[in-house]
Chains A and B, each alone.
Chain A
C-alpha cells in the first residue's frame, strides 16, 4: 500500500501561469518508507510539500495521503500528518516547553501522552526547556521543530529541507533520529538539496526544474549508472580539468572533492583515456574505476534530459 500517491500533479505560478513549479509529477511513496526528494533549490520540492500538506491546491492532477484526497479530505489529513516547513516557523517568543505544549493541545493531546515518541529528542532539549525558541541554536531549533511535528503522533511526516543550514554533526544526528522514527512505523517524506544524504533513504526521487528525473532506491540508482566512471587525481588538478573538458572523447567531467569524475563517450574506453593522458603531458595521474555517487547519477540524468530536449 502506498502512503502517498501523486498523479499528474502540476502547479504554475505567475499572473499568466507562466512559471512552472511542477509539471506532470507522478510519485508513489510506499507505506513505512523513508523517502527522499532530492533536488537543487527551486526544483519544486517545497511546492510539492505544500500541495501534499493541503496548504496549496494543485492546478492539475490528484494526490492522496494515506488514502485521503488532499482537496476533499484535507481536514482528515491535517489530523494525521506532521509537517515541518523549511523555514523555522515556531513561536520565537515562546519557550521550548510552551511551543511544544501549544502544538500538543492544538491536536487535542498532551506531551505526556506521546512522550515515548519524542523522548529521544526531547531529552536533548530539556536543559533549555524555559529558553525562548528564538534563542536556540540552529540544530536545536530543528530538533524542537521535529518534536512539535511529532507530538501528536502523526502517521506520516513531511519534512521540508530539515537539515538545511545545520552543521554536519547535527545533520548526521538528525538523520539517525529519522531512521529511528521510521523504525517505529512512521512514513517519512523528506526533501533535501544535499545529494550525500540520499543514501540514508530507502527510496529517492530526483527532481529538477519541476520534473521528476528518476525514482529508485539509492543503490538501484547507482547501479543503473550506464557507463564506467573514472576517477582521476594528479598534482595539478586544475590544468587537468581544463584539458579534460577540451578532450573530444570525454562525455562529461565533474570535480568531486579531490577527484575528477570522468565519463567517456560511447565506444571510447580506458585505452583512449590513457593514451590521451600520456600525450598531453600530465604527470603522475592516478586513474581508477570508481562507483558512481548519487550526484554523478543526478548530473548524468540532467545531461541526458538536456540532450533529449535539444
Chain B
C-alpha cells in the first residue's frame, strides 16, 4: 500500500509538473467543446447555384425568383450559355446549375410538359444530393403554383388525404450541438484514458526509467495501478469540466441521474486504460505509441456512431462498431444527457463495457512483462 501511494505521488507530481501536458488536458476539452459542436454541423446551407435562362419568360423568371429567395441557395452566376455553366462547375464557383430551355414557357402552355436541365457537382455526395433535392422541391413547388393557377381547385377536397405531423423527441429543436456535445465528450474521455496513459508508460520506456523500476521488487500490479489510477482521476476531471461546459455553453441539462453516467464512465475509463496499457506494451517509443493510437482513434471516431448512425452502416461495420468501446460511451452519454435513460435501460451497455474492461485489461496485464 505504501509503495502504491509512493508511485501515485510520484505520478501526480510528474503530471502536475509537466505544464504542457497539464494545459493540454484542461484546454483540450474546453476548446473542443466550445468550437467543434458549432463547426461540425451536418445541415447543408449556402449551396451555390448558377442559372442559365434561355427563355426569359414570366415562368422562367418565377423559377429564378424562387431559387433566389430560398435560404438554401446562393445565386452566384447567371448567364445564357450552357458552356459557361460547365465552366462554373469546373472552377467551383457553383455547386449546381439549372438550364431553362428556350421554349420553356411555350412548351409548358402548349404541351403541359416542359423539361429543365440540372447539373450537380457530386464530389461531395451529401452536398450534391441535398442540393439536387432542394432544387427539385423548389421546382415542384412552382409546379403546384402553376397547377393552382390553371385549374381552379374544387372547394372541398374530394380525395381522402392523410396528413402527417411530427414532433422531435429528446432534442425538440433538432439541435445539432446537443447531438454532438455528448459524443465529443466521450471521445475526450477516450483520449485521456487510453492514449495519455499509453504515452506516459512508453515515456518511461524511452527514458529508460522503467529499467530502474524493473529491478526493484515492486509488483507488476502496483506498477500498473500506479500508472492507471492517475489517468482515471484525470478522466473524471475532464468529464466534470466537460459536463460543466456543456451546461454553461450549450445549455445541456442531464435529463436523468448523472450518477449513472459517472459510474459508467468509471468502468469505461478502466476499459480504455486497458487498451492504453496494451498499446504501450507493443511500442518502444512515443512515436510508435502515437501512430498506433492515431490508427485506433480514426477507427473509433468513424465507427462509433459519433457522426453517422450505426444502423446505416454495412453489416460488417456494425459488428466492428459494437465491438468498439467508444460506441457504448457515446450512446450512454446521449442516453443520459438527452434521453433521460435509467440504469435499467442501459444494462446491456453496462454488461458490454464491463466485459470489454475485463478482456482488455487481462490481455494487457498478460502481455506486460518486466523483462524480455
- A and B interact: yes
Binding site for B on A (CB under 8 A): 53-57, 74-75, 78-79, 81, 83, 85, 87-94, 98, 102-103, 105-108, 148
Q: Contact mask B186-228 → A, CB, 8 Å, 1/0? A: 0000000000000000000001110111111110000000000
Are B6 and A106 interface neighbours, CB within 8 A?
yes
Among B12-20, B116-124, B346-354, the one that faces the other chain is B12-20
What separation, in Å, do the CA atoms of A103 and B2 have in the docked complex?
A: 12
Determine if B372 is an interface residue (Cβ-Cβ < 8 Å).
yes
B371 within 8 A of A: yes
Are B212 and A107 interface neighbours, CB within 8 A?
A: no
Chain B: interface residue count, which band?
A: 20 to 34
Chain B nearest CB from A160 CB (Å) reads 10
Given A91-B10, A105-B3; A78-B217 close (CB under 8 Å):
yes
Q: How many pairs of A and B residues are in contact by the CB < 8 Å rule?
A: 69
Q: Are B2 and A108 in contact (CB under 8 A)?
A: yes
Contact of A83 among B2, B7, B212 (CB under 8 A): B212
Instruction: Give chain A's interface secondary structure class.
Output: loop
State whether A106 touches B18 (Cβ < 8 A). Answer: no
List chain B positions with a Cβ less than 8 A from chain A.
2-3, 6-7, 10, 13-14, 17-18, 207-209, 211-218, 370-372
List the B side residues contacting A75 at CB < 8 Å: 217
A89 to B215, CA, bound (A): 12
On whether the beta carbons of B6 and A93 are closer than 8 Å, the reply is no
State how many angstroms separate the Cβ of B222 from the closest Cβ of chain A.
Answer: 9
16 contacts between A and B (CB under 8 A): A53-B215, A55-B214, A55-B370, A57-B372, A75-B217, A83-B211, A87-B211, A88-B208, A93-B18, A94-B10, A94-B17, A102-B10, A106-B3, A106-B6, A107-B216, A108-B3
Task: Let me know if B209 and A91 touch, CB within 8 A.
Answer: yes
Which of A56, A78, A91, A94 contacts B216 (CB under 8 A)?
Answer: A78
User: In the complex, which of the residues B2, B6, B208 contacts A85, with contact meaning CB atoms closer than 8 Å?
Assistant: B208
- Which 7 A/B pairs are nearest by Cβ-Cβ distance? A89-B208, A105-B6, A83-B215, A106-B216, A87-B208, A89-B212, A78-B217
Please, how many angstroms separate the alpha-carbon atoms of A107 and B213 in the complex? 11
Main secondary structure of the interface of B (DSSP, over half): helix
Whether B2 lies near A54 (C-beta < 8 A) is no
A sample of 9 more A-B contacts (CB under 8 A), given A83-B215, A93-B14, is A55-B215, A89-B211, A90-B212, A103-B212, A105-B6, A106-B7, A107-B217, A108-B2, A148-B212
> Considering only CB atoms, which chain A residue lies closest to B215 in the complex?
A83
Given contacts A83-B215, A106-B218, contact A56 B372 (CB under 8 A): yes
Say yes or no: B217 contacts A54, CB within 8 Å.
Answer: no
Give the Cβ gap from A263 to chain B, nearest Cβ, in Å.
42
Taken together as a complex, chains A and B put the C-alpha atoms of A83 and B371 apart, in Å, by 14
Query: In the docked arrangement, what's the CA distance between A259 and B137, Å?
Result: 99
Contact A93-B215, Cβ < 8 Å, known A57-B371, A105-B6, A106-B3: no
Q: How far is the CB of A141 from chain B (nearest CB, A)?
A: 12
Cβ contact within 8 Å between A89 and B3: no
A192–B102 alpha-carbon span in the complex (Å): 94
For A91, the closest partner residue in chain B by CB is B209
Chain B residues near A93 (CB-CB < 8 A):
14, 17-18
A97 CB to closest chain B CB (Å) equals: 12
B369 to chain A, nearest CB (A): 10
Query: Given A56-B371, A75-B217, A89-B209, is A105 in contact with B2 using a C-beta cutoff of 8 Å?
Result: yes
- Provide the residues of chain B in CB contact with A55, threshold 8 Å: 211, 214-215, 370-372
What residues on B are CB-neighbors of A90 within 8 Å? Answer: 209, 212
Q: How far is the CB of B342 from chain A (nearest CB, A)?
A: 45
Contact present for A78 and B371 (CB under 8 Å): no
